[in-house]
Chains A and B, each alone.
Chain A
């Protein structure tokens, strides 16, 4: 199968399998689960095939498909991938597969759950593969709705609140994004003509620098950024995350942490930055500051949590702060607007993508580990655990390994992303770099303290001790945990596989942004630029 066709197959395979579920009897839960598992596995294999057709030397979009969809408005069905999106596509199908395995714990309305799950996967894959702004938006919304129901129906006791909060936040973000989409659509058109939704075209226009005015870029960037920052989630927009995570069922938490959060970062890298390089540079300092604040704030908030899942959720906020930090360390020279120390910025960008990947593996794993114990004891109060290492040694070993990955231990995936990002930050701002580096202390603090309270100690302090003893770790759970841990270690030891993948595309992106900013500044915005650069210092 050609890679072009394969991409569409990847996007819609889960949907096909979701249709297939219609023919199952409502009572046949086990066959339905296997069928859905089969669907996610097929999707995963397809993405692996897609990865085989990827050539790391090619920096641009590979195997792009462009079919007119709504021709009057220049909307296309346009999909393709490059070194930035491919790792995330792989991550999506991988996490979906493992989450589906973890979905055996769902007992209620299995059919509906599975259908929504598969639709969700279609949405996620579509977001990462689409190259048309409109199509992107459509998939973005496609993903939103199943998530709402998955949290709202299969969630915990406060699921309605969490689902609505999630929905409102995300919808607010999408609305802002929609405004920005229209701004670009009309901004890209010469007088009286039809604009474009083609991200590649828009990127090229932004790079030329004379199409989008600085004002438009700044405004659009703010809109896009808020839209994506909600998804990331960054410091002031993060409060939906703990609630959504806590209330969502375990597999959905895994998806949420593993894939959905990555969309924010991906959106910033793929859309917000390339489309408005001027705006991005204008806001770079604020972005870095927000990223650093997220790191520290999330860490402190995690330290104070007593709900196990909430702690992990806040750790996500903290970890995703590194992503934003890495993306935005774009320092420019005051004289000509060229990037200063571009290689460091490149490193930050790469580190950010790696951090997304690393967090995409370690965070779902953490949520899964929480879910495993929650399935047994039905509570998540950290202070009511203890002694699990004696009761469930294998589980505790896996969990400790995975939590160490979250802690940023060298040799595990979290380390590479965090440290690369932090190392690249000094070039941008010394103060913020130092503050971000202090995150390592807080991270160690909350993770180790949590480990101590949950896994260490002589005896289990909470209820349902018999449940723990009666249900040792199943093979399925062991497999999921071990797979996650293995990948944590693999990426920690051989990060070059990821960097080889992202390297060229990222170089092209950074190059383009640099050019785009300089062009915009030269052609249009002299006055504002001085203000911007002053702000940098």
Chain B
């Protein structure tokens, strides 16, 4: 089994590192001598497609070696990657156990989770930081999903970015000071190198075996996002959006770092899984320490005692010896969870840090599809899912509310957005809110389920919008479109699949539906079960339900607005053309997945694959002990309310769709009228609830003020102090000079002067007359004698 882990790690590492290799080659290769050379794209596609093959192989290997324990007997074929595996599926164990690679001694089922270390970054005493890998079914599913979508988007981008294949690219959105359009050489290769780098970072994030490593790749995807948003560096709006994206993400990362600090200081490790030291000792990972093997999190007097000792069964227990116990305050655990979640808020554009994502649409559309809908922004959800065992009920409640608010706020803004990509961006935020909500209310599987399905249909829709934009010569405003169905049928139909999927439409009474229905259904069912347990938090069901209706409304609005009705801009309409095959084929592939990836719903392959990695404590639910803490529903409880929630969701979606059809499809009501009626609301929504202004006033401007203050402080205070000291010293030295000149020099001068004047006086004696000298000699001799006689003692 260890052998399998190594193999999986090797395969995934190849899939992970290939894009890096691709990036290196593309960067050094430049544009391969000619601006119209597509080699860079081929390399990038080759790398990511090979990555997809490796990931799929790994998934298949994992399934076949573990005997498809993840898929229960009820599962059926139909999923591309593992359709062949369903027949010989074994019955899974008594849990969806979140066991760790080496901790659990082989029981009656086979090991399904693997972990290990690539190499060590540093070691300080007992503290160890390394690059690890952690592979379970979630990792594998994510790998396959990311590489698949990325491959499609890479191929699409070859078509979308073909305008860059020139020496003289005219950027119509940038004007030089003389009023002309801006000309520059094309940057085709650079786009693909960034994409490759992004794929590398994203896969590394998924593969990461410890939270610190997650943080590393977290930042790396952030910088890739920065580079890709700011791909049109000449556009001020693009570079500003890129800055905003990165800085807002950094705000989230600030919380992330605090979480990391707490974890690091309290637990002494970042590792998810238990670690085997060279001497055979096993170090517990984060999850084992908090949850032990039974998944229970116990706090006594606000202190959580960590389970750091293994009993004879290999279960992690609290050490009996109290001196060996490691503890962490329960509040600290909450703060740590909130901190890490803060990072997720930033990356997944949750309220209150959602403002960067709509701006991020400045990037080329394939980027929006890959980075800002399907993968990177979902990383926050992925991390929240991965880190689930560390979250206390309080943190989960926060997550649920944040998700709920985000879903609603973003959906309302999407109603009034007119830019086709902005609508999709807000929809992305809203859907991410759904996922967070699901995780928060205990629907671990539902949340990640939605993550995968959303990735497919949202990337599909973005690519469709990209196709539209390319067809409309970079026109993104929906009011100028309309009636495009005839001109670009493939795009329109694939888009419709995406819209139906996200709206969560299904044929009532059956489970024949596109992917979005299943995942959204699962989320709403969990939310309903949750509100039944905690009636205080009833909004956590009602708002998502309402949002589901709004979602259906604005998505259909988008579709009707764009593809039906009469062309609103005749000039534009005449030049519209369907995109080439290189762009439509990825659309078709993705639409197949958007439609069918969730077949079977919660009995389906995908859901089972995901929930196989579900933390052990989720299935049983959780009963809050005190009045303040919340309870989480068990799987059974969720299952009971499933049909109710499904019906409600379907109803809401149909309502939304109908309204949209009435307004935009049939034109019964002029939307302009509504806009005039509710001008204040419209303005509020169009202004994105005023978050940008608020943050600008609250943070950006004060930051600049503080910065100016700091700089001025340096100049006016520190330097001034220094200057004052120096001036003081100068004054002192002036006085000193005066003293020197007046007193000390005065004395010396006095001596000198008197000597001089004596010399001047004596100079008169030196007449130069020889006779006088002789006289002097004679007088001197005489005087000498006289003195001799007078004073020399006689005898």
For the complex of A and B, list the 9 residue pairs with the smallest distance between their C-beta atoms, beginning with the closest.
Answer: A343-B125, A303-B707, A426-B261, A304-B707, A304-B711, A410-B216, A300-B710, A458-B234, A456-B239
- B233, B262, B710: the one contacting A304 at CB < 8 Å is B710
Residues in B neighbouring A343, C-beta threshold 8 A? 124-127, 268
Task: Report whether B119 and A496 are in contact in the complex, using a CB–CB cutoff of 8 Å.
Answer: yes
Known: A342-B125, A420-B122, A457-B233. A239 touches B719 (CB 8 A): yes
Cβ of A344 and Cβ of B247 under 8 Å apart?
Answer: no
Chain A, residue nearest B236 (CB): A457
Encode A343-361 as 1/0 by CB contact (under 8 A) with B.
Answer: 1101100100000000000
Shortest beta-carbon distance, B332 to chain A, in Å?
9
The stretch that binds B, out of A49-57, A130-138, A437-445, A520-528, is: A437-445
Contact B707 A458 (CB under 8 A): no
Q: Is A507 engaged at the interface, CB distance under 8 Å to the other chain?
A: yes
**How many Å from the CB of A115 to the closest CB on chain B?**
30
Question: B119 near A426 (CB under 8 angstroms)?
Answer: no
Of A31-39, A174-182, A273-281, A411-419, the segment with at least 4 beta carbons within 8 Å of chain B is A411-419
Residue in A341, A415, A422, A503 whose CB lies within 8 Å of B261: A422
Interface residues of A in 336-395 (CB under 8 A from B): 341-344, 346-347, 350, 387, 389-390
Find out whether the CB atom of A419 lies under 8 angstroms from the CB atom of B257.
yes
**A427, CB-defined interface residue at 8 Å:** yes
Q: How far is the CB of B130 from chain A (nearest CB, A)?
A: 9
Say whether B457 faces chain A, with CB atoms less than 8 Å apart.
no
Q: In the docked arrangement, what's the CA distance between A456 and B712, Å? A: 27
Which segment, of A78-86, A144-152, A447-455, faces chain B? A447-455
User: Given A350-B124, A437-B254, A444 and B246 touching (CB < 8 A)?
Assistant: yes
A390 touches B251 (CB 8 A): no
Given known pairs A419-B257, A441-B251, the reply for A300 and B707 (CB within 8 Å) is: yes
Partner of B124, one of A304, A438, A503: A503
Query: How far, in whole Å, are A387 and B235 apart by their CA atoms in the complex?
Result: 10
Chain B residues positioned under 8 Å from A495 (CB to CB): 121-122
Q: Are A437 and B257 in contact (CB under 8 A)?
A: yes
B251 contacts A165, C-beta separation under 8 Å: no
Instruction: Using CB atoms, name the residue of chain B closest to A499.
Output: B122
CB distance from B355 to the nearest CB of A (A): 15
Which residues 229-277 of A sit at the B interface, judged by CB distance below 8 A? 236, 238-239, 242
- Is A423 among interface residues, defined by CB-CB distance under 8 A? yes
B3 close to chain A: CB less than 8 A:
no
9 A–B contact pairs at CB < 8 A? Answer: A303-B710, A343-B124, A347-B122, A416-B122, A419-B215, A422-B261, A433-B258, A440-B253, A448-B242
Task: Specify the chain A residue showing the minimal Cβ separation from B700.
Answer: A445
Q: Number of B interface residues, CB 8 Å?
A: 62
Tell me which residues across on chain B come within 8 A of A434, comparing CB atoms: 258
Residues of B close to A437: CB separation below 8 A: 254, 257-258, 261
Instruction: Tell me the minimal C-beta distance from A267 to chain B in angstroms.
Output: 22
For A426, give its contact among B262, B704, B708, B718 (CB under 8 Å).
B262
8 A Cβ contacts from B201-221 to A: 215-217, 219-220
**Known contacts being A239-B718, A434-B258, A445-B703, is A458 close to B182, with CB within 8 Å?**
yes
A420 to B230, CA, bound (A): 30
- Would A438 and B254 be within 8 Å (CB), given that A343-B127, A426-B262, A458-B176 are in contact? yes
Nearest Cβ in chain B — how far from A124, in angstroms?
Answer: 26
Please judge, given known A-B contacts A343-B125, A423-B264, A499-B122, whether A300 and B706 are in contact too, CB under 8 Å: yes
B710 cross-chain contacts in A, Cβ below 8 A: 297, 300-301, 303-304
Residues of A within 8 A of B706 (CB): 300
B620 at the binding interface (Cβ < 8 Å)? no
Q: Are B177 and A452 in contact (CB under 8 A)?
A: no
Chain A's closest residue to B128 (CB) is A343
Interchain CB contact under 8 A, A444 and B250: yes
A301 touches B174 (CB 8 A): no
B223 touches A457 (CB 8 A): no
- A416 CB contacts on chain B under 8 angstroms: 121-122
Judged by a CB distance under 8 angstroms, whether A206 is at the interface is no
Min CB–CB distance A487 → chain B (angstroms): 17
A128 on interface, CB distance cutoff 8 Å: no
8 Å CB contacts to A: which residues of B255-280?
Answer: 257-258, 260-262, 264-265, 268
- Does residue B287 face the partner (Cβ distance < 8 Å to A)? no
Q: Which residue of B lies closest to A404 (CB)?
A: B223
Interchain CB contact under 8 A, B215 and A301:
no
Closest to A425 in B: B261
Which residues in B have their C-beta under 8 angstroms from that of A410? 215-217, 219-220
- Indicate if B714 sits at the interface (CB-CB under 8 A): yes
Is B327 interfacial (CB 8 A cutoff)? no
Counting chain B CB atoms within 10 Å of each CB, the highest count among A448, A455, A503 belongs to A448
Take A300-B707, A350-B122 as given contacts and tell me if A236 and B261 are in contact as well, using a CB distance cutoff of 8 Å. Answer: no
With A390-B234, A456-B234, A459-B177 as contacts: A409 and B124 at CB distance below 8 Å: no
Cβ of A444 and Cβ of B123 under 8 Å apart?
no
Q: Assess A503 versus B123: contact at CB under 8 Å? Given A410-B219, A427-B265.
A: yes
Q: Is A305 an interface residue (CB 8 A)?
A: yes
Since A499-B123, A499-B124, A503-B123 are in contact, a sample of 12 more A-B pairs with Cβ atoms closer than 8 Å, ordered by chain A residue number, is A238-B718, A239-B718, A239-B719, A300-B710, A314-B711, A347-B127, A350-B122, A419-B215, A425-B261, A446-B707, A448-B247, A456-B230
Asked if B120 lies at the interface with its beta carbon under 8 angstroms from chain A, I say: yes
A303/B264 in contact, CB under 8 A = no
**Bound complex: CA of A344 vs CA of B264, how far in Å?**
9
Among A301, A314, A404, residue most surrounded by chain B Cβ atoms (within 10 Å): A301
Instruction: Kindly identify, within residues 147 to 190 of chain B, every residue whose CB is under 8 Å from any CB belonging to chain A.
Output: 171, 174-177, 182, 184
Binding site for B on A (CB under 8 A): 165, 168, 236, 238-239, 242, 297, 300-305, 314, 341-344, 346-347, 350, 387, 389-390, 404, 409-411, 415-416, 419-420, 422-423, 425-427, 433-434, 437-438, 440-442, 444-446, 448-449, 452, 455-459, 495-496, 499, 503, 507
A341-B250 contact in complex given A350-B124, A409-B220, A410-B217, C-beta closer than 8 Å: no
Instruction: Report if B240 contacts A (CB, 8 A).
Output: yes
Q: Are B233 and A389 in contact (CB under 8 A)?
A: yes
Is B123 a contact of A452 with CB atoms below 8 Å?
no
Contact indicator B265/A426 (Cβ below 8 Å): yes
Q: Are A457 and B234 in contact, with the CB atoms below 8 A?
A: yes
B722 at the interface (CB under 8 A from A): yes
Q: Which residues of B contact A456 (CB under 8 A)?
A: 230, 233-234, 239
- Least Cβ–Cβ distance between A456 and chain B, in angstroms: 4
Minimum CB distance partner of A411 in chain B: B220
Asked if B250 and A441 make an inter-chain contact with CB atoms under 8 angstroms apart, the answer reads yes
Instruction: Among B129, B226, B707, find the residue whose CB has the most chain A CB atoms closer than 10 A.
Output: B707
User: Is B243 part of the contact surface with A, judged by Cβ < 8 Å?
Assistant: yes
- Give the CA-CA distance A442 to B706 in the complex, in Å: 11
For A446, what are the chain B residues with a Cβ–Cβ distance below 8 Å? Answer: 707
Q: Complex: how many Å from CA A423 to CA B265? A: 8
Question: What is the bound-complex CA distance between A327 and B173, given in angstroms?
Answer: 50
Query: Which residues on the B side are within 8 Å of A344 (C-beta)?
Result: 124, 127, 264-265
Residues on the A chain within 8 Å of B718, using CB: 236, 238-239
* A459:B176 contact, CB within 8 angstroms: yes
Contact of A440 with B119 at beta-carbon distance under 8 Å, contacts A300-B706, A347-B124, A387-B234 already known: no
Complex CA gap A426/B127 in Å reads 15
Q: In whole angstroms, how far apart are the Cα atoms of A420 and B265 in the complex? A: 12
Query: Does B261 lie within 8 Å of A304, measured CB to CB?
Result: no
CB distance from B727 to the nearest CB of A (A): 13
Q: Give the CA-CA distance A64 to B753 in the complex, in Å.
A: 61
A119 CB to nearest chain B CB (Å): 28
Residue contact B125 to A305, C-beta cutoff 8 Å = no
Asked if A304 and B704 make an inter-chain contact with CB atoms under 8 angstroms apart, the answer reads yes
The smallest beta-carbon distance between A163 and chain B, in angstroms, is: 14
Q: 1/0 contact trace for B119-149 toward A, CB 8 Å?
A: 1111111110100000000000000000000
Shortest CB-to-CB span from A333 to chain B, Å, is: 15
Contact yes or no, B239 A452, CB < 8 A? yes
Is the Cβ of B265 less than 8 Å from the Cβ of A415?
no
Chain A residue with the shortest CB-CB distance to B187: A393
A-chain residues with CB within 8 Å of residue B121 when the two chains form the complex: 416, 495-496, 499
